[in-house]
Every structure is written in structure tokens, then in C-alpha cells.
């Protein structure tokens, strides 16, 4: 009898403790500047809701809008084109000028330029008697709203119709017997390097500052490195992407034995002979890179590109946002309830509700031509992207697909998780004015997702 009484008491206090734990979770998450919405895809059953119609800052969850509208407008197999022109045919291995017309490709990198130069060389090109000129007029040259001024970190890179390496330079620093050295590969004349590094017995500490110098830049490298160090690399956004592109192409041409007698510069295409066209990797792969790694540069490139395609060049952020609104209206979203300043989420002005984010997720998952590309672009917990190193519950590892987002005092998570019965729960969780720190925000978000995956409900 005593044992039975103790068992009943223990169960009672366990239930009370569970209720209090849920209330603590709710009080932590369900503040006036927080919201969430969760729905079962196969049945339409709402399994979680709180302030679901409240428009809050979604941080990088804005990229769900960019991804959906890009795939829906262009298709997963779409490829961006970069055209190469000249004003004379290749004669005795020589042409006059080489022009490049940037088409907004967000994925062009040095390795692609190496391949392009190899193709030109195979066509007999040995010398450019004039200049290498890059035309970036397909986009405007304005910064996108929300971009941080005087911030040279790669996540803050500028957009450009003629972009290369996500408009960020890779700078190598190395300690040698003769002292510290700084270099780029290829070694391009766009940068003038001032090396103020010193040798030290202590660990490496390096700071790189950029300063405009006409159409180019001066890089001043400060700090210390040990005498014997393997090359360390640092990334810095460039101030003049078309000039950076032109100087890099000139350097790669010369490294491959093609003489360039003139200069590298930005300017309009004057030649009317199309030498070749470079096609990018498919849009599905580009969106994959954007969402899994929350790449702001790709998102802003796509925003301007869509604006140019729909409303004519030059592509602008404002034109891209207009396309987003038209795109979202087609899936029943009242666009008066949202405010988008840019396509990356790097802004404190963007606003959208949890319910509308779930509508976008559902629309992408249910669109036959894009569903696979859209859903597979989300990061997988414990597997890849921004969720690879996220400390989450064992039950969610490898099955939770999500798009993360963070700004100061803002943490968001939206995505899809399979439920115990095999059905899928689509959800969005937005925490604004959250003072608990990133790890606590992630734990609270993942706790909600785990409850939905377990078949529980939450909210009023």
C-alpha cells in the first residue's frame, strides 16, 4: 500500500514537473516578439501556432523567398551566361581587344576562368594586342539596402553583373626564413600590397585593411607570424568587382602563355564578334550553395538578376523585390503584410510572418518542377551547411531540414521534419529581441521541432 502510494505521488509530481517544464519553454519562446507556425503537409492539420500572423524579422530566412522565386521563375536547370567578344578575328594567334559581358553569374570562380582561357588557347589565341575589358552594366553598381558600409568581410561582398569568386579575394600569409610574405594566387595587379608583418615566436595574428586607390586597392597587412608557418589564407571583399575580374582574367591569360599587351579595365563592350559563351552550373546547385551556407552574396545577385530579367537592365534590388512580391502573391500571400528590403536577410528592416514562411516552404515542396531542388537546398542537421555543427537532439540528426537565420538578438529556423507516423511537418520559428544567446535560441527552437516530430502539439 505504501509502495503504491509512493508510486502515485511520484507520477503526480512527474506530471507536474513536465507541465512546468513546458510552461517554462513556452514562456521562454512565446514572448511578444516571437512566433511560430507548424502544419502537417499531408493533412493540413495545424500542430503549432503562436503569433503566427505577426510580421517579424526573419533574418536569413528571407533566402527562402529568394530561393523559391528564383527556382519558380527560372527553373532548376537554368544557367547564367558570360559572353566573350572581340573586334577582330584571331589572326596568326592574335586578336585586338577582349571584352567580357557579365551576365550576373553568382558562381563564376578562378577555376572557371582557367577553363575558359584553355578554350581560347585551343582556338589558337596567343596574344591580345589591346586590352582586357569587363562590362558589368547588366546590374546597377549600387550597394543593396542593408549592406554594411566599410565592412570588408566576405559575407558583406558587393554585387556585380561581372563577379568573380563571390567578389572576395583570397590572400595568403606565410612565415619563411627570409621573413613574412603576403601574396595572392594568381598575383594580380588590382592589389598593391603593403606588408607590415613581423616575425614572432608567438602565434600568428594578422589584420588586413583595404583602401581604394583609383580603380584598384591597397592592402596593408599588419600583425605577426612565426618564422615557419604553412600558408594561411584570409578572405576580403573587393571594392571594385569588375576591375578585380578584369585584372584576374589578365593574370590567368598571362600565366597560360597568352600575351596581353594592353591593360585590364572596366568598360562597355565595343566588339561585335562573339568568341564564346560560358554557361554557369545549374541554378539548383547555386541555390543549394546559397541556402545551405546562407550565402548573402548569391542571394543579392539573384535578386538583382531576377529584377533585370523581369523589368529590364540594369538589375536593381528594388526590381528584384517587386518580382518577389508578384511571385508570392501567386501563392496567396498578402504582400501588404510583408516588407522586404533585400534578398539575403542582411537587414534589420525585413518583415514576414511565420505563417507566410510556411506557405513558401509548402509551395516549394508541392511544385513538381522545383520541389526536389528547393527542399534539398535546406541544410540537414548534423550533416551539412549551417546545421552541420548545430548541437541538437539525437532524434533530429540527419532528418531535420532547415534554413537558419541570425542577426543581433534575432534567431530563426524554418524547414521540414518527418513525424513518427511518416507525415511531414513544415514549420517556421522566429525569435526577435531574444537576449538568451544563440545556443539557447537553438535549443528552444529544436525543442519545439522535436515535439512536433514526436506527434505532439503546442500553442493555444
Looking at residues 131-153, what average pLDDT do you find? 91
Looking at residues 104-130, what average pLDDT do you find? 97
Q: Is the pLDDT of residue 7 over 70?
A: no
The pLDDT value recorded for residue 234 is: 94
What fold characterizes domain 29-77+283-453?
A: Beta-lactamase (3.40.710)
Provide, rounded to the nearest whole percent, the portion of the chain with pLDDT above 70.
Answer: 93
Provide, rounded to the nearest whole percent, the portion of the chain with pLDDT above 90.
Answer: 85
The pLDDT value recorded for residue 125 is: 97
Q: Is the pLDDT of residue 1 over 80?
A: no
pLDDT tens string 335-349: 999 999 999 999 999
pLDDT tens string 416-444: 999 999 999 999 999 999 988 899 999 99
CB-CB contact of 56 with 35 (8 Å): yes
pTM of the model: 0.92
Question: 83 CB contacts (<8 Å, ≥6 apart)?
Answer: 100, 101, 103, 274, 276, 277, 278
pLDDT tens string 255-273: 999 999 999 999 999 999 9
CB-CB contact of 99 with 82 (8 Å): no
> Taking all residues of the chain, what is their mean pLDDT, rounded to a whole number?
92
pLDDT tens string 64-112: 999 999 999 999 999 999 999 999 999 999 999 999 999 999 999 999 9
CATH 3.40.710.10 occupies which residues in the chain?
29-77+283-453
CATH 3.50.80.20 occupies which residues in the chain?
81-144+242-279
The pLDDT value recorded for residue 166 is: 97
More reliable by pLDDT, 9 or 29: 29
Q: Is the pLDDT of residue 4 over 90?
A: no
pLDDT tens string 357-405: 999 999 999 999 999 999 999 999 999 999 999 999 999 999 999 999 9
The pLDDT value recorded for residue 441 is: 95
Architecture of domain 81-144+242-279: 3-Layer(bba) Sandwich (3.50)
Amino acid at each position: 500500500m505504501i509502495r503504491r502510494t509512493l508510486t502515485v505521488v511520484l507520477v503526480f509530481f512527474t506530471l507536474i514537473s513536465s507541465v512546468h517544464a513546458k510552461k517554462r519553454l513556452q514562456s521562454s519562446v512565446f514572448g511578444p516578439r516571437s512566433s511560430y507556425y507548424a502544419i502537417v503537409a499531408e493533412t493540413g492539420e495545424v500542430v503549432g501556432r503562436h503569433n503566427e500572423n505577426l510580421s517579424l524579422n526573419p533574418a536569413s530566412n528571407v533566402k527562402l523567398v529568394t530561393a523559391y522565386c528564383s527556382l519558380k521563375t527560372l527553373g532548376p536547370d537554368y544557367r547564367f551566361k558570360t559572353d566573350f567578344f572581340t573586334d577582330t578575328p584571331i589572326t596568326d594567334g592574335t586578336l585586338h581587344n577582349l571584352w567580357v559581358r557579365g551576365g550576373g553569374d553568382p558562381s563564376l570562380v578562378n577555376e572557371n576562368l582557367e577553363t575558359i582561357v584553355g578554350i581560347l588557347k585551343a582556338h589558337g589565341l596567343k596574344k591580345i594586342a589591346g586590352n582586357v575589358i569587363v562590362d558589368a552594366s547588366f546590374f546597377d553598381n549600387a550597394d543593396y539596402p542593408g549592406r554594411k558600409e566599410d565592412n570588408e568581410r566576405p559575407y558583406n561582398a558587393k554585387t556585380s553583373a561581372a563577379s568573380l569568386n563571390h567578389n572576395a579575394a583570397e590572400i595568403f600569409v606565410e612565415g619563411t626564413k627570409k621573413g613574412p610574405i603576403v601574396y595572392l594566387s594568381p598575383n594580380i595587379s588590382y592589389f598593391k600590397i603593403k606588408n607590415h608583418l613581423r616575425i614572432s615566436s608567438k602565434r600568428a595574428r594578422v589584420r588586413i585593411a583595404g583602401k581604394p586607390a583609383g580603380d584598384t586597392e591597397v592592402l596593408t597587412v599588419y600583425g605577426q607570424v612565426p618564422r615557419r608557418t604553412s600558408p594561411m589564407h584570409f578572405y576580403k571583399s573587393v571594392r571594385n568587382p569588375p576591375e578585380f575580374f578584369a585584372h584576374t582574367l589578365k593574370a590567368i591569360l598571362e600565366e597560360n602563355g597568352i600575351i596581353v599587351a594592353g591593360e585590364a579595365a572596366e568598360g562597355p563592350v565595343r566588339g561585335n564578334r562573339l568568341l564564346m559563351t560560358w554557361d554557369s552550373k545549374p541554378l539548383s546547385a547555386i541555390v543549394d550553395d546559397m541556402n545551405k551556407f546562407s550565402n548573402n552574396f548569391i542571394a543579392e545577385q539573384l535578386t538583382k538578376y531576377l529584377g533585370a530579367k523581369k523589368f529590364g537592365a540594369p538589375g536593381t534590388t528594388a526590381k528584384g523585390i517587386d518580382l518577389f512580391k508578384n511571385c508570392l502573391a501567386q501563392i496567396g500571400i498578402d504582400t501588404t503584410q510583408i516588407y522586404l528590403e533585400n534578398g539575403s536577410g542582411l537587414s534589420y528592416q525585413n518583415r514576414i510572418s511565420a505563417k507566410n514562411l510556411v506557405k513558401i516552404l509548402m509551395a516549394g515542396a508541392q511544385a513538381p518542377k522545383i520541389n526536389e531542388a528547393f527542399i534539398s537546398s535546406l541544410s540537414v542537421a548534423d550533416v551539412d551547411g549551417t546545421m552541420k555543427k548545430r548541437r541538437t537532439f539525437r532524434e533530429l540528426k540527419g532528418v531535420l531540414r532547415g534554413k537558419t537565420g541570425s542577426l543581433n538578438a534575432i534567431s530563426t529556423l524554418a524547414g521540414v521534419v518527418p513525424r513518427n507516423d511518416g507525415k511531414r511537418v513544415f514549420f517556421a520559428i522566429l525569435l526577435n529581441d531574444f537576449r538568451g544567446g544563440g545556443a539557447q535560441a537553438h535549443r528552444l527552437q529544436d525543442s519545439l521541432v522535436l515535439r512536433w516530430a514526436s506527434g505532439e502539439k503546442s500553442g493555444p
